C-alpha cells in the first residue's frame, strides 16, 4: 500500500515512483520537480514555480502545453468514439484519414503506415518487418541491423540494441547482430589534419567495409536519425547521407530514417531527410506526430518496402504483429490536428523564422571559455562543454558538467537537457523572439554560475 501520509509531493514521488533516465544523486540533493500544468511554452510546479521549457517536454510538445485546437480535437474524439478496433478487419475512420495524410505529407510518391504507441515500438516494428521480409524472401540470415554510435532509437530490447549508448550494457545489450558504426561528428571525431570531406569519406568507407566483412546478405537494414537527438544533437558531417546512401543501394540494404525528433518541422523542413536532401526507404515517426498530446508512433513505408511487405504478408495471409492501442482514434484525431497546426498555422514557418536567432544565441554562448562547440539544425541545438577549449578535453567528475548546468538552469527557471557533456535546447515551435531572449539570458546566467 502506498504511504499517503508523507507530507510533500517530492517525498510522495520518491516513495512510490521508480525513476527512469534521471540522475539519482541530483534527485537526492534537490528533490523531484512535481508539475501541475502548462501554458504555452511554460510549465508550473506544485509550489507555483514557473519554468520556460526549452526542451519542448521531451522534444515533442511543439505546439505548447495548452493548445486549444489540440485539446478540442481530443475532446471531440473522446465524445465521438474513444474505444478502438485496430485489427481483425476493423479500423477507425480517423485512422484511415491519418494514414492518407501521412502518406500525402511523406516524401514518398506512395506508401503505407503502421501504428504503434511510441517511437521505440515503431523502430522495433520496423526491425520485425525487415526480419519478416528476410524470411519471406528466402533470406532468413538477413537479420543484422546497422546503426551508429550515439544514435538513439528507444528502449525496448530491440530499439535499445539499436541505440549506440554505452549505458545499455547494464541490461546486457546490445543483442547479437546489432552493429554500431562510427558517429559522424566531425568536430569530436575528426582526426588531426582531416578535412570534413575526408572524414565523411572515412565514415562511408567504414560502412562499406562493415557490409563486406559481415556479408551484405546478412544485413537487414541501416537506421539513422537525420540529426542525432539524444546523442547530443549531432548533425551529420557534410555530405554524409549522400555518401552512405549509394553504398546501401549498391548492396540492397534499406535506409530507414528515424525521424522521431526531426519529423514535422523540427529541422526547418517537414522531414529531416528533406533538410539533408535524401529519400529513405521508410520513416519512423512519433513525438511531434501528435505534438506530444497522445502517445503514438508510426512506421511510414516507402513504395518499395510497401510492395515487398504487402507481398510477404499476402503470401501467409497475415502480418502477425500489432499493439492493442495501435491506431487509437483519439491519437489519430489529435495527430490529424497536430499536422494541420504545425504545417498550416504558421508553426513550421516560425521554426524557419526563429532559426537565425537561435543560432546567433548558441554562437554567442559558444564564445565562453568552457564551451567547445555549438551545433544544431532548425530548432534543435547544443552547447558542448569542455575543460580545455584548445584540446577539446572533456570535464571529468561524477556529476557531469551538463547536469550541473541543467540544475543551474532549473534554478533560473529554465528547463534544458543535459546529454553527455552537452546542454541541449529544443524549444517548442510556438516560441517567440522574447522567449528566445529569455532562454539565452537564463542559460547564460546558469553557465556563468557553473564556470
User: Which lies closer to ligand PLP via its Cβ, residue 152 or residue 178?
Assistant: 152
Minimum Å gap between C-beta 286 and ligand PLP is 5
Stretch (H or E) spanning 363: helix 347-365
User: Which lies closer to ligand PLP via its Cβ, residue 42 or residue 152?
Assistant: 152
Q: What is the DSSP letter of 110?
A: S
Distance (Å, rounded) from C-alpha 403 to C-alpha 395? 12
Minimum Å gap between C-beta 232 and ligand PLP is 12
Our measurement of the distance from residue 16's CA atom to the centroid of its chain's CA atoms, rounded to an integer in Å, reads: 28
How many CA atoms are closer than 13 Å to the CA of 451, on its beta-carbon side? 20
Among 152, 186, 264, 431, binds ligand PLP (CB under 6 A): 152
Residue 154 interacting with ligand PLP (CB under 6 A): yes
The dihedral built from the CA positions of residue 247, 305, 278 and 375, taken in this order, carries a sign that is negative
Stretches 24-32, 82-90, 253-261, 353-361: which one binds ligand PLP (CB under 6 A)? 253-261
Among 183, 211, 230, 273, binds ligand PLP (CB under 6 A): 230
**Strand arrangement, sheet containing 178-181:** 112-116, 297-301, 282-285, 255-258, 219-224, 144-148, 178-181
User: Which lies closer to ligand PLP via its Cβ, residue 106 or residue 163?
Assistant: 163
Q: Which SS3 state, helix, strand or coil, does residue 52 take? A: strand
Minimum Å gap between C-beta 258 and ligand PLP is 5
Minimum Å gap between C-beta 107 and ligand PLP is 17
Minimum Å gap between C-beta 120 and ligand PLP is 3
Among 53, 225, 281, 403, binds ligand PLP (CB under 6 A): 225
User: Which lies closer to ligand PLP via its Cβ, residue 152 or residue 278?
Assistant: 152
Among 253, 260, 305, 409, binds ligand PLP (CB under 6 A): 260
Show Cβ contacts of residue 189 under 8 Å, excluding neighbours closer than 6 positions. 182, 183, 199
User: Which lies closer to ligand PLP via its Cβ, residue 129 or residue 371?
Assistant: 129
Minimum Å gap between C-beta 30 and ligand PLP is 24
User: Which lies closer to ligand PLP via its Cβ, residue 56 or residue 370?
Assistant: 56
**Burial zone of 264 (CB within 10 Å; 0-12 exposed, 13-18 middle, 19+ buried):** buried
Among 134, 164, 184, 229, binds ligand PLP (CB under 6 A): 229
Residue 153 interacting with ligand PLP (CB under 6 A): yes
Q: What is the DSSP letter of 254?
A: P
Q: What is the DSSP letter of 135?
A: H
Q: Which residues pair with 52 in a beta bridge?
A: 42, 414
Among 224, 256, 261, 383, binds ligand PLP (CB under 6 A): 261
Q: Which residue carries 513550421 as its cell?
A: 348
Residue 378 interacting with ligand PLP (CB under 6 A): no
Give backbone dihedrals phi and psi of 53, rounded to 5 degrees, phi first.
-90, 95
Minimum Å gap between C-beta 256 and ligand PLP is 11
Which single residue brings its beta carbon nearest to ligand PLP? 119
Stretch (H or E) spanning 64: none
Minimum Å gap between C-beta 273 and ligand PLP is 13
The secondary structure of 173-223 as a DSSP string is: PSPTTEEEE----HHHHPPTT--HHHHHHHHHHHHHHHHHHH-GGGEEEEE
User: Which lies closer to ligand PLP via its Cβ, residue 234 or residue 305?
Assistant: 234
Residue 431 interacting with ligand PLP (CB under 6 A): no
**Residues touching ligand PLP: how many (CB under 6 A)?**
14
Minimum Å gap between C-beta 4 and ligand PLP is 30
Binding to ligand PLP by CB under 6 A, coded x per residue (else -) over 264-303, reads ----------------------x-----------------
Residues 92-151 that bind ligand PLP (CB under 6 A): 118-120, 123
User: Which lies closer to ligand PLP via its Cβ, residue 371 or residue 422?
Assistant: 422
* Angle (CA) 337 340 343, round 5°: 145
Buried b (16+ CB within 10 A) or exposed e, 134-169: bebeeeeebbbbbbbbbbbbbbbebbbbbbbbeebe
Whether 112 and 305 have beta carbons less than 8 Å apart is answered as no
For 435, the grid coordinates are 522567449
Minimum Å gap between C-beta 262 and ligand PLP is 8
Minimum Å gap between C-beta 68 and ligand PLP is 25
Q: CB count, 10 Å around CB of 421?
A: 23
Q: CB count, 10 Å around CB of 82?
A: 11
Cα distance between the two ends of the chain: 45
Residue 374 interacting with ligand PLP (CB under 6 A): no
User: Which lies closer to ligand PLP via its Cβ, residue 261 or residue 282?
Assistant: 261
Residues in the site for ligand PLP, rule: CB under 6 A? Answer: 118-120, 123, 152-154, 225, 229-230, 258, 260-261, 286
Amino acid at each position: 500500500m502506498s504511504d499517503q501520509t508523507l507530507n510533500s509531493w517530492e517525498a510522495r514521488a520518491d516513495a512510490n515512483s521508480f525513476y527512469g533516465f534521471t540522475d539519482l544523486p541530483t534527485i537526492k540533493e534537490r528533490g523531484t520537480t512535481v508539475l501541475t500544468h502548462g501554458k504555452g511554452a511554460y510549465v508550473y510546479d506544485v509550489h507555483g514555480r514557473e519554468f520556460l521549457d526549452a526542451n519542448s517536454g521531451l522534444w515533442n510538445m511543439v505546439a505548447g502545453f495548452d493548445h486549444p485546437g489540440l485539446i478540442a480535437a481530443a475532446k471531440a474524439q473522446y465524445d465521438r468514439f474513444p474505444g478502438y478496433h485496430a485489427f481483425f478487419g476493423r479500423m477507425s475512420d480517423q485512422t484511415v484519414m491519418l494514414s492518407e495524410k501521412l502518406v500525402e505529407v511523406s516524401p514518398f510518391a506512395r506508401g503505407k503506415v503502421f501504428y504503434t504507441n511510441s517511437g521505440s515500438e515503431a523502430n522495433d516494428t520496423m526491425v520485425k518487418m525487415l526480419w519478416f521480409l528476410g524470411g519471406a524472401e528466402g533470406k532468413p540470415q538477413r537479420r543484422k541491423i546497422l546503426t551508429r554510435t550515439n544514435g538513439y532509437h528507444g528502449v525496448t530490447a530491440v530499439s535499445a540494441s539499436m541505440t549506440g549508448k554505452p549505458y545499455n550494457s547494464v541490461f546486457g545489450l546490445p543483442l547479437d547482430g546489432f552493429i554500431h558504426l562510427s558517429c559522424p561528428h566531425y568536430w569530436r571525431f575528426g582526426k588531426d589534419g582531416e578535412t570534413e570531406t575526408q572524414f565523411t569519406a572515412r565514415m562511408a568507407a567504414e560502412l562499406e567495409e562493415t557490409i563486406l566483412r559481415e556479408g551484405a546478405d546478412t544485413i537487414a537494414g541501416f537506421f539513422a536519425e537525420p540529426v542525432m537527438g539524444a546523442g547530443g544533437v549531432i548533425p551529420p558531417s557534410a555530405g554524409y547521407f549522400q555518401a552512405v546512401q549509394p553504398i546501401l543501394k549498391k548492396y540492397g540494404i534499406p535506409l530507414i530514417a528515424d525521424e522521431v525528433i526531426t519529423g514535422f518541422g523540427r529541422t526547418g523542413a517537414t522531414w529531416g531527410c528533406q533538410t539533408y536532401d535524401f529519400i529513405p526507404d521508410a520513416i519512423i515517426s512519433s513525438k511531434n506526430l501528435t505534438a506530444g498530446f497522445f502517445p503514438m508512433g508510426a512506421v511510414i513505408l516507402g513504395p518499395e518496402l510497401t510492395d515487398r511487405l504487402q507481398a510477404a504478408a499476402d503470401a501467409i495471409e497475415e502480418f502477425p504483429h500489432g499493439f492493442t492501442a495501435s491506431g487509437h482514434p483519439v491519437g489519430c484525431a489529435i495527430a490529424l490536428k497536430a499536422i494541420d497546426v504545425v504545417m498550416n498555422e504558421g508553426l513550421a514557418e516560425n521554426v524557419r523564422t526563429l532559426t537565425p536567432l537561435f543560432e546567433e544565441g548558441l554562437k554567442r554562448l559558444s564564445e565562453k571559455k568552457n564551451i567547445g562547440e555549438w551545433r544544431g539544425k532548425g530548432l534543435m541545438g547544443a552547447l558542448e562543454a569542455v575543460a580545455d577549449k584548445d584540446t577539446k578535453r572533456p570535464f571529468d567528475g561524477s556529476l557531469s558538467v551538463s547536469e550541473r548546468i541543467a540544475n543551474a538552469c532549473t534554478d533560473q527557471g529554465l528547463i534544458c537537457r543535459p546529454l553527455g557533456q552537452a546542454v541541449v535546447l529544443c524549444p517548442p515551435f510556438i516560441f517567440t523572439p522574447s522567449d528566445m531572449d529569455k532562454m539565452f539570458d537564463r542559460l547564460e546566467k546558469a553557465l556563468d554560475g557553473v564556470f
